[in-house]
Amino acid sequence: MLSPARLAGVIGTPAPAVASALPSGPAVPAEALVDLQAIRHNVATLRARAEGAELMAVVKADAYGHGLLPCARAAREGVASWLGMALLAEVLAPRAGGDTGRLLSWLHVPGEDFAAAVRADIDLSASAIWAVDEIAAAAAEQGTTARLHLKVDTGLSRGGATAAQWHDLVRAALAAQAEGTLTVVGLWSHLAWADAPEHPTVRRQQEVFERAVADAELLGVRPQVRHLANSAATLTNPASHYDLVRPGLAVYGLSPVPDLHDPEALGLRPAMSLRARLSLVKQVPAGSGVAYGHEYVTQRDTVLGLVPLGYADGIPRAAGNAGPVLVAGRVHPVAGRVSMDQIVVDLGGDEAAHVARAGDPVVLFGDAALGEPTAQQWAQAASTISYDIVARIGGRVTRRYVGAELGVELGTELGAELGTEPGAEPGAQVHQ
């Protein structure tokens, strides 16, 4: 991860030549270009690191902002044997789209339509007896048997039964299993400090998990899968792999341990780049206040570029005066506050700035190997994490997919009238 000093060193410096050859594609204000081949590559890389465990690609929250159905399909093509989504509304979509593999959903409230999930042959999770009861009742109503994963709280203090509740939860599930309404197929938990693999909490949580598994097995549970590892643990903690790993962020090519390794060092390829076009370029004199509150004032005669993306599109407002943007071959910081629909970039007064024109392409984040700013740099600028940067990209931003298998429909085909960007496959497709 770049330190603030190193990030400051990136701002205003020339980008490598490869990054200056930015695409010239469709005339939309902004787009998130998603490389499905990168997702396939990342899943295959993670599966190899899982050392024999199965792999669940977590595609919750619209695949971390990348687009659920295209990314779910690409993850399957990367040989993900499971897909994981938090909410029932999410997990039903891949099944409706034709996915026939194992799907898990885990975040529920009383009164949800578990019958729809049972009909769709989706694995469900329970952290409390009410969930066991409602899932069993839904299965009985459907005349079938639901597959259930029991979650134990090993120290994160979010979902999962505490140690004091665990035996009662397991007994309730086994009682329903004896009635034929469900079968307990999984035992699982989630780590609090996986991104700091040497933190003592990691080992303590694994010990609590292993005791909970042993207790459940003594009571009669015969799980198909035990699962604990997220992206960070998949990459740094083989002892946590058990039968199944659940990477999320790493599927999309971002490092879950940025203080330790960048994506390239982990063998990952960032799947999303956020691109836009300048909507206005103009010269202003020294002393010009820029954006609300004039938190940025030009120090010289300069050229400003207006980028039609703002916090309504997911650009973090906290990244004002800091977020890096690649324009005309150089990386510049956002000048002033982030507005709802737009940001301003001070392009400087050199020749490159003076030849900039409305319609020129810009890159907010993408692949460092191409000289582009990264989601991690934006996270650092906004004092957040890269998960937050990609997952927050809003619905006004077009998702366009490259690397799709021929013949697979992902949305509206761009067609010849919009052109094809350099590096994009013929038939690149768009999804909004």
Residues with a catalytic annotation lie at 60, 292
Q: How many Å is the Cα radius of gyration of the chain?
A: 24
**What does the CA dihedral 260, 264, 269, 274 come to, rounded to 10 degrees?**
80
- The set of residues, in sequence order, having a beta carbon less than 8 Å from that of 130 and lying 6+ positions away, is 110
Beta strands in 278-349 (DSSP E): 280-284, 289-290, 296-297, 302-307, 324-327, 330-333, 343-348
Query: Token match 């699962």: residue?
Result: 227
CB burial readout 192-231, b (16+ within 10 A) else e:
bbbbbbeeeebeebbebbeebbebbeeeebebbbbbbbbb
Q: What are phi and psi of 43, to 5 degrees?
A: -60, -45
**What does the CA dihedral 264, 266, 267, 270 come to, rounded to 10 degrees?**
-60
CA–CA dist 202, 192 (Å, integer): 7
CA–CA dist 31, 419 (Å, integer): 15
Closest CA to 54 of 184, 159, 188, 182: 188
Burial class (CB in 10 A: 0-12, 13-18, 19+), 242: buried
Per the CB < 8 A criterion, the answer to whether 227 and 56 are in contact is yes
Instruction: Report residue 417 as tokens.
Output: 């009238």
Q: What are phi and psi of 359, to 5 degrees?
A: 100, -15
CA–CA dist 244, 183 (Å, integer): 18
Per the CB < 8 A criterion, the answer to whether 347 and 305 are in contact is yes
- The set of residues, in sequence order, having a beta carbon less than 8 Å from that of 198 and lying 6+ positions away, is none
Q: What SS3 class is residue 322?
A: coil
Query: Roughly how many angstroms between the first and final C-alpha of the chain, as a whole number?
Result: 31
Query: Token match 């060092």: residue?
Result: 265
